[in-house]
Every structure is written in C-alpha cells, then in structure tokens.
Copies of this chain bind each other. A is one copy, B any other.
Amino acid sequence: MSTHTPPLKRESSDERKLAIAQAARELIIEKGFEGLRTRDIAERVGINIATLHYHVPTKNALIALVAETIRDQFSAQSARRPRTGLSPLVQLRMEFEDQRETLLETPDLIVLMTELIQRARRDAAVECVMRPLYDYWVGQFVEIYAAGRLDGTFRPDIDPVAAANITTGAVGDHWRQSDTSIALYDRIAAELERAFLNPVSSKD
C-alpha cells in the first residue's frame, strides 16, 4: 500500500511520528474518534502495531500528538501574517479572507479541529492544547473590534468580547455544517461586517 519500497527500513523517529500523526488525522476525519483504531493507523502508515507503540506509547499520547500538530500548524499559519499597523477593518477582512482560504483549501482541517474541540471536553491533555488555541483566535477578534471601536470604525456601543465570540462562533458553526458552501460563508462574512460597522462613520 503506502510504502512502495518494501525493503526500505530505518525511517527516522521524527519522520515516523509525523507519518503516524498524519495517518491518525486522516482517520479521525474519516471515522471520528469513535472509529479511531491503532491498527488502522499502523496499517495506513505501513508499519506494525508494535512499531507504532514504539514511537507513540499509548493511544492517548497519540491523540495528544495529533492535537500538537494542529497547534503547530495554526501557529505557523498565524506567524505568516504580520498585520500590525493595519486598520481594524482591513484586519477584519484579512481574517475573513484567511478563513475563506482555509475553507476552500483544507476543509478537512476544520473537521479535525471540531473533533478535537469536542474531544477536549473529556480529555484534559487535548483541552490543554486546544483551549489556548481557541482563546487566541477569539482574542484576535477582540483586539480588532476594540481598536475599531476606538477609532470609530465600528459601532461605539459594540461589545468587543461579545462581538468576537459571535464572529468565531458563526464562522466555526458554519464549518461544522456538512453543506459548508462558500457562498453562504461569504454572506455571513459580509453580514458580520455590516453588523459591527459604525453606521454614522464614513470609514467603510
């Protein structure tokens, strides 16, 4: 299946772990945590179950590993976009554009995120990884809305924390829907912008 070079062996430990995490991610997307089996992961990687356990001691550790890869991926993604100094409205639109891109290019990533957030409710190790990630995401919007209220871009009566939660909630919930259409996403993003803009401002 996976490895087309049967005699090839001795993959470095880091590469193996990465391959294991990747296979686990795919299987979580396909079957959810309910259907996640260590054997299936090993098979997809093309290794023995014992080999998998050599690299990742337990199933819980494996799930934590998956959570970490997600965090790293989002951290890297976040670091790639320095947008300090930009106006709040431009920042908001850039956030929406980023989400849109993710929705189009890696919709599976979002399914995976959802599964992990759900899992976090009962798995402290996953909670520790996902909670800061989610809080950071909401925090981004809090800052944007707070700055935009100050400079008159957004409504003077806006509640930045509530607005940020509405924004991430709406976007996140749209992801969860099975029919995630980009058209609806665009309408939601546009409506969010109208919802928070200052009606008496000329900044838009």
Task: Point out residues on A near B: beta carbons under 8 Å.
Answer: 31-35, 111, 114-115, 117-122, 127, 155, 157-159, 161-163, 165-166, 168-174, 176, 178, 184, 187-188, 190-192, 194-196, 199-200
Most chain B CB neighbours (cut-off 10 Å) among A111, A118, A155, A158? A118
User: What chain B residues lie within 8 Å of A165 (beta carbons)?
Assistant: 170, 173-174, 184, 187-188
Distance of A155 Cα from B199 Cα, bound (Å)? 10
| Known pairs A114-B118, A196-B195; A187 contacts B172 (CB<8 A) | no
Q: Please list the 10 inter-chain residue pairs (A to B) with the smallest Cβ-Cβ separation, ordered nearest first.
A: A169-B173, A195-B195, A162-B191, A169-B170, A162-B187, A199-B199, A166-B170, A159-B191, A162-B188, A34-B34
A115 smallest CB distance to B (angstroms)? 8
User: What chain B residues lie within 8 Å of A195 (beta carbons)?
Assistant: 163, 166, 195-196
Copies of the chain in the assembly: 2
The interface residues of chain A, by DSSP majority, are classed as: helix
Q: Which residue of B lies closest to A165 (CB)?
A: B188
User: What chain B residues lie within 8 Å of A122 (beta carbons)?
Assistant: 31-32, 35
